[in-house]
Structure 1
Amino acid sequence: MADMNGGDFDVIVVGAGLAGLTAADWLIQRWPSSPARRILIIEGQDRVGGRVMTEERADGVDLGAAYVGTQQNYTQLYMKRFGIGTINSNLPRHGWHVFQYAEKNEEPYYFAKKSFAPRPSALAVAPGPDHELPRPGALALAAGPDYKRITETIAELEFMIASVRCHVETPWNGPFRELDAMSVEDWIQARIPEHALYARELFRVGVRSALSVEPRELSMLYLLYYCATAGGFVNLMAVGGGADSFRVKGGASKLARCLEEAIRDSSRPDGVSCVLRQMQRVVRIEQPSSTTDKATVEASSENSKVRFTARHVIVAMSPPLSANIQYQPSLPEQRVGLAENMTMGATIKAFAVYSKPWWKQRSPKNHVGGYSGYTLSARGPISWTMDNSWEDNTEKEVHCLMAFIVGDQARRLSGSDPDDRKSAILKHLVELFGGAEEAKEYQAYYERVWPTDPWSRGCPAAVFGPGKFIKYGPALREPCGRIHWAGSEAATDWVGGYMNGAIQSGIRAADAVMAEIAREEAPPKG
């Protein structure tokens, strides 16, 4: 394998996901044209986007990040800049939603969106006028069994989240520190009595669906922080008016591609220029012992090793993946522990395309009217489904159901034979929709098994288990010498897996680098 000198740069960005692309773009847009600056992005894959990935054969199928919330301002700003349109999330005002209990002897609970007031949300906090829920919706069924218990629990959660939000930059120094040692599952069992089965299972499904880990794997303090960055528990779980309000028209990868094109088009050889090198994996970052020397970044491809130098490096990837890089000297103990002690969410996204929306034409047993396509299951393997239909470029509607398999079920099915996995998912769709064999009569089927993807090892993001957040959380954004960190886990605005968080983290890292270089170049005082 040949060793090569790849050149000298002001900044090297490791990773061309949304965080890395945004960091490079922000540097190009914000740095003055003089003196000349050189930026390099190194990406191991043959595509940009990271955990943003649209199916090439169907632009309405986002295999990775897909949704944009009404309060996700960073994402919306970039979409507006590139003239990217939106598709409203399909949570119809008519049709039956389904909640499936974990135990097979429990009958499914059906709830009708048409009886709710506008602006859906995942878990309503209080009844509105005429006994309607002002923000019903997506995960939620708060009008069903255990209604009082659910609303009381949500009110308690929202109070704690509001307190944590006041310390969103340093939640490990804020209130409720003692809850870091408690798992979300422990908290559910302590707060919700065993006889309130629906309430318990609803919260488990909600947490599992949002973060793609089991409640036992998640620090309760980290859940409060996660919700605080999203504006609250209800806001996080919401479809309309919350986290999943709409999708990107043409697929979420369009945003990554537009950023890539903007970086190429904005580069100025005599000003700020940027180079993107793909199919090269960064294997080593060496920091100098002298404060005046530069860092060395070593990247490996199939036939060669290339060494680059830079004043600063932005590592834009999840903490567990950043541990695949060798650092010399070793990173501080807290940063090493961070990478070793965060758990990647486990997600399989599956899509079935049909010739017609058969679920709208089929009624649940003893009910009038069709299904909405929205289901929740505490049993699995599917955790939740949603109508993912869209209009193609000929304005023809494509009828599609999306299924999320997460947590333990995703890990279990990740190692299965692809045909066996598809059969298990379709079998569960049949069951969720009251024995509808039409679920098996698909025209096209797409899936992404994120736990087996070597470039991500999971999706949507890495999270903290019990007892880990206070100990290792402070290392999320803390620079290590000339190395700065980006990625949705390092955000404070829609953290962990949201495109908005990835974009914000890239901007923060770029600002920090520009400030450091300005300090280094400042004339000596006196």
Structure 2
Amino acid sequence: MAPDSKPPSVHTIDPYRLFDSRPVFSHVATSTGPTRIVATAGQVGADEHGKVPADIDEQIALAMRNLGRCLEAAGATPTDVFKLVYYIVDYDPNNRRHTKHVKAFLNGHRPATTLVPVPALAVPEYKFEIEAYAAVRQEPLRSVEVVVVGAGLSGLKTAYDLQQAGVSCVVVEARDRVGGKTWSVDPTGQGKFVDVGAAWINDTNQSKICDLAKFLNLELVVQKTEGNMVQEDLGGGIDVFEYGGTPKGLAEKDGVENLVFIRELFEKLCQELDIQDPVGTGGQFDKMTLEEWCKKETKSETAFATVTLWTRAMLGLEPREMSALYFLNYCKSGGGLLQMRSDFKHGGQHLRFIRGTQSMSIELAKLLTPGTVVLNSPVRRISQSPEGIYVSAGRGDFKCQRVVVSVPTPLYKEITFEPPLPEAKVEIGKNNVLGYTLKVLVMYSEPWWRKAGLVGAVMSFVGPITTCRDTSNDEKGEYSLTCFTNGDFGRKMSLLPQKERYNAILEHIKRMFGKYVAVQDPIAITEHEWSKDQWAQGCPCPASPPGIMTKYDRELRTAHGKVHFVGTETAYEWKGYMDGAVRSGERGAKEVIAALGKAKL
């Protein structure tokens, strides 16, 4: 049930004998039907660190983005706004610099507005401030057996399995789309999809996601692995080696040997863990960070750079930010480090989707009872009482018997639970960290790297690109390199304007590939910064620092009264991957079906 299918929540009026106020505002705006009022504080052109651009246009653009985030957090959109008030320092009626930004933000919507010229704002650097009042349409209270919070793969799989068992449910989603961190976009508008989120599966040990793809009749393409990959060593030296192999020579004395040593040692320790009881079989590794473990085993800079590349590429984090046990267990959940990192058969990155991974969520949502999915409706309160559970969301409230929460643990703080979550859940959510993973997808008219026998893959100890893969779909005539900039590399890049980020990525591509082949100019570039996404706050999967697994790992999957918790991080197998998301969704549905006494005989 998308909100766009309902009448608008705001009606604008241009009264007779008043001047024409088009295209920016209306003289009168009124709410229609039952609505919830949202008011924002004045938003200024300052980023999350309080930094204020010197350029006035940049300030205004940033203020509008901040206003959009405020509305999104409440489940509102610009079309729900009925009143805008903006305050401008040094206002010049002959140079209305704010107008283009406001028009772009409203995209044709015309709320009532008031412009107030002022001598100064709260901080001398602030030159523009804007506040909004919105009316968000509210649907009547709905009663169902189960409310699922989140329309990613785990939430949708939970809902599908519940409905197949005859359980009534709704899926309440904060975003304006289904899919969570599976999001496929078409930058050229030609049906050539690329994934700004999760992208790969395999068809052997990732049985759950593979079965789902087959069930939904989705086409897959094999990841290219033929050719040489490019390695950028410490100090910036560039060389190639056969994809799937080991670098031939590195700058550090015995660098290759040290790389192999740390890789084989980690794989050995990883395989000794029991994924059902990681603390019982490897608890000593939860007393140290992964960085501390690595530096205890070897002083090699190459070995540490290798471990750092693993954690950046796989979790968007630095080795200092996670428990050694967490990373060992994470890798073991996918069969081991080598299998999880592999693009070959049985590896974590073997197959991709022709229509992108979001096609799974889109098709799965179509199989649900019409009206099941409610978009643009963030859940902010879950209240358990003897009379039932009340779920308060952006576009209406629900009464139910069970709730399944399918959001990352660090986002538990976005929901008020009554009664409050137990200490274990609170501490998991408070301490688990989400990484910085930025995928920059660069599209070309042809796969020029293949002319030199290159597979399109890169691994760099220098950055800003950490790793890169050929994510082309030859049958569709779509040729692209997916470039990952992660961890500290990515955080540094995030401070740059988008154009400068793109330029840095393109320069790195030229540096890496230019030694072997003429690098062509791209036809399109796209990205998504998951750490700035209101409903992701990082990507791909939360990681635990030392001590958290020892104290709370067994509580990760436990219910809180009649509220259950799913999500890829709660999976035992393929944690952090789409297969893990589907597995957790199946687990959540089974728990609820059993609790409701509706298990099939």
Please confirm whether the aligned pair reaches a TM-score higher than 0.5, indicating the same fold: yes
Secondary structure of the residue that 1:454 maps to in structure 2? coil
Pick from 294, 298, 301 the counterpart of residue 188 of structure 1.
Answer: 294
Pick from 391, 394, 399 the counterpart of residue 300 of structure 1.
Answer: 394
1: distance between equivalents of 2:248 and 2:340?
A: 15
Is 1:512–2:512 an aligned residue pair?
A: no
Q: Which residue of 2 aligns with 1:243?
A: 348
Is 1:164–2:280 an aligned residue pair?
A: no
**Once the 2 structures are TM-superposed, how far is the Cα of residue 176 of structure 1 from its aligned partner?**
2.1
Alpha carbons of structure 1 residues 435 and 207: separation in structure 2 relative to 1, 3 Å: same
Pick from 184, 199, 208 the counterpart of residue 74 of structure 1.
Answer: 208
2: distance between equivalents of 1:5 and 1:396?
A: 45
**Once the 2 structures are TM-superposed, how far is the Cα of residue 227 of structure 1 from its aligned partner?**
1.2
2: distance between equivalents of 1:199 and 1:254?
A: 39
Secondary structure of the residue that 2:404 maps to in structure 1? strand
Q: Which residue of 2 aligns with 1:119?
A: none
Q: Which residue of 1 aligns with 2:229?
A: 97
2: distance between equivalents of 1:250 and 1:62?
A: 9
Secondary structure of the residue that 1:68 maps to in structure 2? coil
2: distance between equivalents of 1:329 and 1:495?
A: 29
Verify the 8 A CA contact 2:388 2:400 in the aligned structure 1.
yes
2: distance between equivalents of 1:143 and 1:74?
A: 40
Is 1:253–2:358 an aligned residue pair?
A: yes
Verify the 8 A CA contact 1:60 1:389 in the aligned structure 2.
no
Q: Which amino acid aligns with 1:449?
A: E
2: distance between equivalents of 1:66 and 1:505?
A: 19
Secondary structure of the residue that 1:463 maps to in structure 2? coil
2: distance between equivalents of 1:439 and 1:327?
A: 54
Q: Which residue of 2 aligns with 1:231?
A: 335
Equivalent residues, number: 458
Q: Which residue of 2 aligns with 1:110?
A: 240
Pick from 215, 219, 224 the counterpart of residue 323 of structure 2.
Answer: 219
Q: Which residue of 2 aligns with 1:381?
A: 464
**Once the 2 structures are TM-superposed, how far is the Cα of residue 63 of structure 1 from its aligned partner?**
0.6
**Once the 2 structures are TM-superposed, how far is the Cα of residue 309 of structure 1 from its aligned partner?**
0.9
Is 1:7–2:142 an aligned residue pair?
A: yes
2: distance between equivalents of 1:150 and 1:431?
A: 24
**Once the 2 structures are TM-superposed, how far is the Cα of residue 441 of structure 1 from its aligned partner?**
1.1
**Once the 2 structures are TM-superposed, how far is the Cα of residue 147 of structure 1 from its aligned partner?**
4.4
1: distance between equivalents of 2:569 and 2:256?
A: 33
Verify the 8 A CA contact 1:430 1:437 in the aligned structure 2.
no
2: distance between equivalents of 1:23 and 1:275?
A: 12
2: distance between equivalents of 1:382 and 1:433?
A: 12
2: distance between equivalents of 1:466 and 1:143?
A: 34
Q: Which amino acid aligns with 1:177?
A: G
Q: Which residue of 2 aligns with 1:175?
A: 281
Verify the 8 A CA contact 2:192 2:476 in the aligned structure 1.
no
Verify the 8 A CA contact 1:212 1:460 in the aligned structure 2.
yes
Alpha carbons of structure 1 residues 150 and 415: separation in structure 2 relative to 1, 3 Å: closer
TM-score by length of 1: 0.82
Q: Which residue of 2 aligns with 1:271?
A: none
1: distance between equivalents of 2:513 and 2:184?
A: 27
Alpha carbons of structure 1 residues 232 and 329: separation in structure 2 relative to 1, 3 Å: same
Pick from 5, 15, 21 the counterpart of residue 156 of structure 2.
Answer: 21
Secondary structure of the residue that 1:344 maps to in structure 2? coil
Is 1:46–2:203 an aligned residue pair?
A: no
More off after superposition, 14-23 vs 255-264:
255-264
2: distance between equivalents of 1:439 and 1:309?
A: 58
Alpha carbons of structure 1 residues 186 and 87: separation in structure 2 relative to 1, 3 Å: same
**Once the 2 structures are TM-superposed, how far is the Cα of residue 143 of structure 1 from its aligned partner?**
8.4
**Once the 2 structures are TM-superposed, how far is the Cα of residue 429 of structure 1 from its aligned partner?**
1.1
**Once the 2 structures are TM-superposed, how far is the Cα of residue 202 of structure 1 from its aligned partner?**
2.1
Q: Which residue of 2 aligns with 1:277?
A: 374
Pick from 428, 440, 455 the counterpart of residue 372 of structure 1.
Answer: 455
Verify the 8 A CA contact 1:426 1:440 in the aligned structure 2.
no
**Once the 2 structures are TM-superposed, how far is the Cα of residue 459 of structure 1 from its aligned partner?**
1.1
2: distance between equivalents of 1:151 and 1:373?
A: 23
Q: Which amino acid aligns with 2:270?
A: I
Verify the 8 A CA contact 1:430 1:436 in the aligned structure 2.
no
2: distance between equivalents of 1:309 and 1:170?
A: 36
Q: Which amino acid aligns with 1:39?
A: C
Is 1:408–2:543 an aligned residue pair?
A: no
1: distance between equivalents of 2:485 and 2:462?
A: 11
Q: Which residue of 2 aligns with 1:338?
A: 428
Q: Which amino acid aligns with 1:499?
A: M
Verify the 8 A CA contact 2:151 2:171 in the aligned structure 1.
yes
Q: Deviations over 1:462-490 (max 9, x none)?
A: 11122222223223111000110011111
2: distance between equivalents of 1:440 and 1:189?
A: 41
Q: Which amino acid aligns with 1:44?
A: A
Aligned sequence identity (%): 30
Secondary structure of the residue that 1:413 maps to in structure 2? helix
**Once the 2 structures are TM-superposed, how far is the Cα of residue 453 of structure 1 from its aligned partner?**
0.9
Verify the 8 A CA contact 2:192 2:478 in the aligned structure 1.
no
Alpha carbons of structure 1 residues 376 and 287: separation in structure 2 relative to 1, 3 Å: same
Verify the 8 A CA contact 2:450 2:456 in the aligned structure 1.
yes
**Once the 2 structures are TM-superposed, how far is the Cα of residue 5 of structure 1 from its aligned partner?**
4.2
Alpha carbons of structure 1 residues 59 and 253: separation in structure 2 relative to 1, 3 Å: farther
Secondary structure of the residue that 1:360 maps to in structure 2? helix
Q: Which amino acid aligns with 1:287?
A: Q
Verify the 8 A CA contact 2:147 2:402 in the aligned structure 1.
yes
2: distance between equivalents of 1:423 and 1:440?
A: 14
1: distance between equivalents of 2:584 and 2:533?
A: 23
Q: Which has the larger radius of gyration?
A: 2
Q: Deviations over 1:157-179 (max 9, x none)?
A: 233222212xx23323x122121
Q: Which amino acid aligns with 2:379?
A: V
Over aligned residues, Cα RMSD in angstroms? 2.3
**Once the 2 structures are TM-superposed, how far is the Cα of residue 437 of structure 1 from its aligned partner?**
9.5
Q: Which residue of 1 aligns with 2:521?
A: 441
Q: Which amino acid aligns with 1:216?
A: R
2: distance between equivalents of 1:342 and 1:5?
A: 36
**Once the 2 structures are TM-superposed, how far is the Cα of residue 237 of structure 1 from its aligned partner?**
1.1
Secondary structure of the residue that 1:359 maps to in structure 2? helix
Verify the 8 A CA contact 1:100 1:109 in the aligned structure 2.
yes
Alpha carbons of structure 1 residues 377 and 150: separation in structure 2 relative to 1, 3 Å: closer
More off after superposition, 456-465 vs 434-443:
434-443
Verify the 8 A CA contact 2:262 2:303 in the aligned structure 1.
no
2: distance between equivalents of 1:492 and 1:5?
A: 39
Pick from 55, 58, 79 the counterpart of residue 185 of structure 2.
Answer: 55
2: distance between equivalents of 1:448 and 1:4?
A: 32
Verify the 8 A CA contact 1:298 1:308 in the aligned structure 2.
yes
Secondary structure of the residue that 2:398 maps to in structure 1? strand
**Once the 2 structures are TM-superposed, how far is the Cα of residue 438 of structure 1 from its aligned partner?**
5.5
Structure 1 unpaired stretches of 5+: 114-135, 268-273, 362-368, 521-526
Q: Deviations over 1:25-52 (max 9, x none)?
A: 11122x1x4xxx4211101111100000
**Once the 2 structures are TM-superposed, how far is the Cα of residue 440 of structure 1 from its aligned partner?**
6.2
1:82-161 residue pairs with structure 2 within 5 A?
82-92=216-226, 94=227, 96-104=228-236, 107-113=237-243, 136-137=244-245, 140-141=246-247, 146-161=255-270
2: distance between equivalents of 1:382 and 1:251?
A: 23
